[in-house]
Amino acid sequence: MSDPNLNYIKELSGGDVEFEKKIVTILKEELPVEIHAYFKHFRNQDFIKTAEIVHKIKHKISILGLEKGCQIANLYEQKLREEKTEGNQRFEILLEQMTLFLKKVTL
């Protein structure tokens, strides 16, 4: 599986550093909040809310260039909507990867 990267953001920015900073700031601010919500809903076995938050995180996965990660999140979201938790570990590894990557990113 590929590593998180800023390729999409760079492509979109066309050198607009302000945009790059803004979007990375949003990702850095929102992702931890969403991860916290994910684990809370997961612990409470609230499948619908967990699926909703996975859906929201999915967009961030795609922004960070994780194509395979998007597929993992898609399948996991579907499973959650069927009230199954299959695929949670692979998804949670993604969350770790993204968190570590965003911690290192400086623009």
Partner 1 sequence: MKKCILIDDDASARLIIQQLIIKTENLEIVGEFENAIEAIKYLNENTVDVIFLDIHMPTFSGFDFIKTLKTPPNIILVTSDRNFALDAFEYNCVVDYLVKPIAYERFQKALNKLASVKIKPEVSKENTNSKTEDKLYVNIDRRLVKIHIPDIYLIEAKGDYINIKTEGKNYIVHSTLKKIENKLPEEIFIKVHRSFIINFNKIIDIEDNSVLIKQDIIPVSRSNRSELMRRLNLL
The answer to whether 27 and 104 have CB atoms below 8 angstroms apart is: no
Kindly provide the residue ranges of all beta strands, DSSP E only, lying in 2-95, ordered along the sequence: none
Smallest separation, CB 58 to partner 1 (Å): 5
Interface residues toward partner 1, by CB under 8 A: 8, 11-14, 16, 19, 22-23, 26-27, 30, 52, 55-56, 58-60, 62-63, 70
Smallest separation, CB 47 to partner 1 (Å): 15
Smallest separation, CB 70 to partner 1 (Å): 8
Burial annotation 50-59 (CB, 10 A radius, 16+ → b, else e): bbbbbeebbe
The pair of structure tokens assigned to 67 is 């194509």
Judged by beta carbon, residue 13 or residue 88, the one nearer partner 1 is: 13
